[in-house]
Structure 1
Amino acid sequence: MTKIGYARVSTTDQDLEVQLAKLKAQGCEIIRSEKVSGASRDGRRELKTVIDFLRPGDELMVARLDRLGRDTRDVLNIIHDCEQKGAFVTVLDPYVSTQGDMGHLVITVLGMVAQMERRFIKDRQRDGIERAKTNGIYKGGKRRIDREGVLALKHGGMTPTQIAAEVGCSRMQVYRILNHQ
């Protein structure tokens, strides 16, 4: 049995260190991490690698359930994929494992609560933006990536993968910029 850790943050300016430290403290022999949105499984290459690597008896560990995904169905599908390989999933905070029957129930409920919480956050954010627009103070989100720099690198002959590595962002972000020139 191998303990395999998976850590994820949504943006390049967020830090993975707390998750990595928790996974190491739990004895994870292999830890894969990435900086990509958890809204869906698209673009989550490290998660795919972990799931592909799982063997019977292995344990996939995550610091929190929302590191696996933001949508209950996605989380349950990921857990199902792990179980199809004979592996199980353990969430460290709060501690719950799919190794027992009760773990499935608890993870399902936690996933539903996390999804509901995400909807509440989005609703409050949308309300705040609307209020700010009404008051004339909304300026939009802060740009984290130099769009002109990305375009210049593309015109200089770099591939999206090379640009992403150079700028420190995901290829998805590069493609978004390139598609909206």
Structure 2
Amino acid sequence: MSKVKYVRTSTEEQNTSRQETNSSNFDKVYIDRCSGATKMGERKEGKKLLKDIEMGAITEVHCSSIDRLGRNLLDVLHMLDLFNKQDVNLFVENIGMYSMIAGKPNSTFKLILTVLSNVAEMEKEFILERQKQGIAIARAKGKYKGRLYGTKISDEKLLEKYKKVVTELKKGESLRRAARLGECSLGTAQRVQKLLTSPNT
């Protein structure tokens, strides 16, 4: 193989079809379903991609957007540096640009990549800050029913608190529907599902 594509979605529920629209143009497509905060080397398909690159089997990697590779600027720059050292050309579809030109690093690409990654990090911080503000306002009004920021509920209490989610998941409902019916976040439903599939549960 030589030309491949890397696809990532944050959850099992998200559809990858948009990112896979041109899959027939590639020798192989690697698809991960995990958080963007997970480093490439810790992802199931990401590990395979890195191994194939190390073996010299890949010359070109495509992805729909730079945040598919990582949510953290340092992680993204690390990946770019790794690609450059292995002479692997990265093409990011939503900006229509290659990381290398005539076998040499594209300085304009790195500049744009840095700006986009910084903007993504700022947006994430802004969202978290708004969530904290919303919680503070709700708590002041006596309407906030969630746990205190920074605390963690035990596995047993989690299953007890979200009995409806447990019931729906056992019935075979999707994570999103179980979360909606159980009135909790998708992340909470995922944690419940993980506990239910754990051999110790």
Shorter-chain TM band: 0.7 to 0.9
Equivalent position SS for 2:37: coil
Structure 2: distance between partners of 1:131 and 1:43: 38
Specify every segment of 5 or more residues in structure 2 that has no aligned partner in the other structure, as ranges. Answer: 147-183
1:46 is aligned to 2:52: no
Specify every segment of 5 or more residues in structure 1 that has no aligned partner in the other structure, as ranges. Answer: 156-177
Structure 2: distance between partners of 1:11 and 1:115: 19
1:9 Cα deviation after fit: 1.1
1:132 Cα deviation after fit: 2.8
TM-score (norm 2): 0.66
Contact 2:89 2:100 in 1 (8 A): yes
Partner in structure 2 of residue 68 of structure 1: 69
Equivalent position SS for 2:15: coil
Structure 2: distance between partners of 1:29 and 1:107: 25
Contact 1:4 1:59 in 2 (8 A): yes
Which of 115, 135, 152 does residue 109 from structure 1 map onto?
A: 115
1:131 Cα deviation after fit: 2.4
Deviations 1:108-161 (A, max 9, x none): 222222222222222222222332333333344423147388357514xxxxxx
CA 50–128 in structure 1, closer or farther in 2 if over 3 Å, else same: same
Greater RCO (CA < 8 Å, at least 6 residues apart): 1
Partner in structure 1 of residue 32 of structure 2: 34
1:93 Cα deviation after fit: 0.7
Contact 1:96 1:107 in 2 (8 A): no
1:87 Cα deviation after fit: 0.4
5 Å matches for 1:77-96? 77-96=78-97
Partner in structure 2 of residue 11 of structure 1: 11
TM-score (norm 1): 0.73
**Identity between Structure 1 and Structure 2 (%):** 29
Structure 1: distance between partners of 2:125 and 2:89: 28
CA 28–139 in structure 1, closer or farther in 2 if over 3 Å, else same: farther
